[in-house]
Chains A and B, each alone.
Chain A
Amino acid sequence: MLEVLPQLFINGLITGSIYAIIATAFALTYSVTKFIDFAHAAIVLVAAYAFFSVSSSQFPVLGDSLFTAILISIFTGAIVAVLLKNFVYRAFMNKKASKAVLFIVSIIVYFIAQALVQLAFGTDTKTIKGVEILPIEALGTVFSQIELGIIIAAIIFAGMLFAILKYTKIGKEMRAVADNYELAEIAGINSKEVFLKTYFIAGLFASATGITLGLERAIEPAMASTIMLRAITAAVIGGLGYIPGAIFGGYFLGMAESIMGFYMPSGFKDLFAFALLFAFLIFRPHGIFGKKGRV
């Protein structure tokens, strides 16, 4: 039994990396705009299917390079996130829509994205072509180069975000708006612009999730809602609105699912994350770190 543990650990680290990336996107916009935005799942879909289209396209320039495919789809997703913020959410925010309305709007936006993807690509699962899977064996575990790439990418993403939040002007503005929206406005920060930039960054993260899902597994329209619920669960585990917490929560959830899932009947494995969410809400509602809403 014990000899499978390193492999479960590696698997958990891979899933955890994906969860951490999407949980960061969620926690980032939640801390700034203060509403539960389910539409990150829409961005996950957009980027995943853009990635699929580009990497399976006939144009040799696009089809040949994995790097170009990733770059194109990651920015497609981020731009859609900005458009969504600028046209849909801004319209509702201008009308002083409540957080509850915005939450419902974000779910409808996701439904629309999902239906459009189903219209364009069908409901079947698609695999990304042209990705070579080279296995790496280390310390009694097996994982692919792609998976190693995902683990490293998650660390780079997290590092970049912390650098942005800590050392750049926009990072400081984002923290100011997250901390106290009105005070930030008084200090001369244009909160609308901050929202947009936040959405661009969160869009990059959500897109990265879509791409990693495409590389790691096959893609299908229904995957986005499942991953989004994991993101929210991870964010609650780490303390809703607290970004380092969300990242930790992502890894924690990935590991816990991988290790506990091994001992659970296969179908019920998916219940684990939700059971964990309820356990946290009842016994530790402000997350492992016990911090209430800050960046």
Chain B
Amino acid sequence: MTELTSFIPYLLQVLGTIIIFSLVILGMNLSIGFTGMLTVSHIAFFGIGAYAAAISFKLGLGFIEAIVIGTIVTTIISYILARATVKLKSDYLAVASLTLIFMVQIVAQNWDLAGGVFGIKGINRVKLPGFEISPITNQLAYVALMLFILAIVFFLLKKLVQSKFGLIFKGIRDDETAMQSLGYNTEKFKTISLIISSIVAMLGGVLYAHFITVVVPTLITFNDLLLVLGMLVIGGLGSLEGSIIGTIIFYSLPEALRFVEMPEAIIGLARYLVLSVILLIVLYIRPRGIFGKVDINESGQ
């Protein structure tokens, strides 16, 4: 019985983390996999979501308000990112999106309202009526809520990529010049794709803040790019199902390494190295991942 009571929180922790990562990866896949825009800023938007939730909590606002604030901020910033890069070669988007990760972290570290280097602690778990009996049931209910949100996002994204919009996105990915000659304003559609994908990643951040209850600047680090790229690439570009499965696989790998005996001090770094090498090998052998429809590429210019 005691084993079971400690196992359930662990399981919920793993499940919740996978759900949160899945949202970030789904967002990334929409812009990288479906639209052919190489951008790595989704970690930054995830961070914006987490801070939107944390700051909303600090100001006495709730979960829904946090999502609204996060969406507004994300829309503005991803619009600026798109405005700065969609007209140019894909290299510029890659670079600008990279700097966004550092920018969000610098702001988080130095902004008083965001709690500086200490971040914001003690964020409430979203209480669902009827599940307040114990922390575990509440956590269970929250994970269920996250799963529900993920399902809705997945369903909407599925509808989006199958719609006319989705076809245009894929058209831009495969041959942007051809789409332009067909009369489509590809810059507009790339901007739309980037904004939607950023909002999806941002949602993951809002859920994270209420799940882990602590938001610190080190949450948004450049090094985490390895994790999200691994999840995205292994799952496959241009496949929404792949994003979920890739997330599960790449998240589980270090969990499996947990059982390999290693000195405490180097365990994190050793895991990180193993994941790096695995991702390199996957990129070499099968750059489109397990379910991928396309190789990682940039839209034609």
Give which listed residue, A101, A111, A236, contacts B223 with CB less than 8 A. A111
CA distance A92 to B285 in the complex (A): 10
> For the complex, is A169 an interface residue (Cβ under 8 Å from B)?
no
User: Contacts A100-B296, A101-B295, A104-B296: A111 and B287 contacting too (C-beta < 8 A)?
Assistant: no
> For the complex, is B269 an interface residue (Cβ under 8 Å from A)?
yes
> For the complex, is B176 an interface residue (Cβ under 8 Å from A)?
no
| B272 and A111 contacting across the interface, CB-CB below 8 Å | yes
Of B91, B223, B225, chain A has the most CB atoms within 10 Å of the CB of B91
| A277 and B95 contacting across the interface, CB-CB below 8 Å | yes
Give which listed residue, A36, A99, A229, contacts B99 with CB less than 8 A. A229
| A268 and B106 contacting across the interface, CB-CB below 8 Å | yes
CA distance A108 to B226 in the complex (A): 7
> For the complex, is B293 an interface residue (Cβ under 8 Å from A)?
no
CA distance A36 to B90 in the complex (A): 10
Of A103, A114, A225, A226, chain B has the most CB atoms within 10 Å of the CB of A103
Give which listed residue, B94, B99, B109, contacts A233 with CB less than 8 A. B99
Q: For the side of the interface on A, what is the size category?
A: 35 or more
User: Contacts A92-B283, A92-B284, A101-B295: A278 and B106 contacting too (C-beta < 8 A)?
Assistant: no
B204 to chain A minimum Cβ distance, whole angstroms, is 21
Give which listed residue, B90, B92, B283, contacts A281 with CB less than 8 A. B92
> For the complex, is A82 an interface residue (Cβ under 8 Å from B)?
no
| B280 and A107 contacting across the interface, CB-CB below 8 Å | no
| B277 and A112 contacting across the interface, CB-CB below 8 Å | yes
CA distance A282 to B99 in the complex (A): 15
Name the residue of chain B whose CB is nearest to the CB of A271.
Answer: B106
Give which listed residue, A97, A118, A270, A285, contacts B87 with CB less than 8 A. A285
> For the complex, is B279 an interface residue (Cβ under 8 Å from A)?
yes
> For the complex, is A105 an interface residue (Cβ under 8 Å from B)?
yes
| B229 and A104 contacting across the interface, CB-CB below 8 Å | yes
Name the residue of chain B whose CB is nearest to the CB of A96.
Answer: B295
Give which listed residue, A95, A100, A118, A226, contacts B94 with CB less than 8 A. A100
Interface, chain A (partner B; CB < 8 A): 35-36, 88, 91-92, 95, 97-101, 103-105, 107-109, 111-112, 114-116, 118-119, 225-226, 229, 232-233, 236, 240, 265, 267-268, 270-271, 274, 277-278, 281-282, 285
20 A-B pairs besides A98-B295, A267-B110, A268-B106 with CB distance below 8 A are A88-B280, A92-B283, A97-B283, A98-B296, A98-B298, A99-B91, A103-B38, A103-B94, A105-B280, A108-B279, A108-B283, A112-B273, A112-B276, A119-B269, A229-B102, A236-B92, A270-B102, A277-B96, A278-B84, A285-B88
Interface, chain B (partner A; CB < 8 A): 38, 80, 83-85, 87-88, 90-92, 94-96, 98-100, 102-103, 106-107, 109-110, 222-223, 225-226, 229, 233, 266, 269-270, 272-273, 276-277, 279-280, 283-284, 287, 295-298
Pairs A–B under 8 Å by Cβ, sample size 25: A36-B94, A95-B284, A98-B287, A98-B296, A98-B298, A99-B298, A101-B296, A104-B229, A105-B283, A108-B280, A111-B223, A114-B223, A115-B269, A118-B269, A119-B266, A229-B99, A232-B98, A240-B92, A265-B110, A270-B102, A274-B99, A274-B100, A278-B99, A281-B84, A281-B92
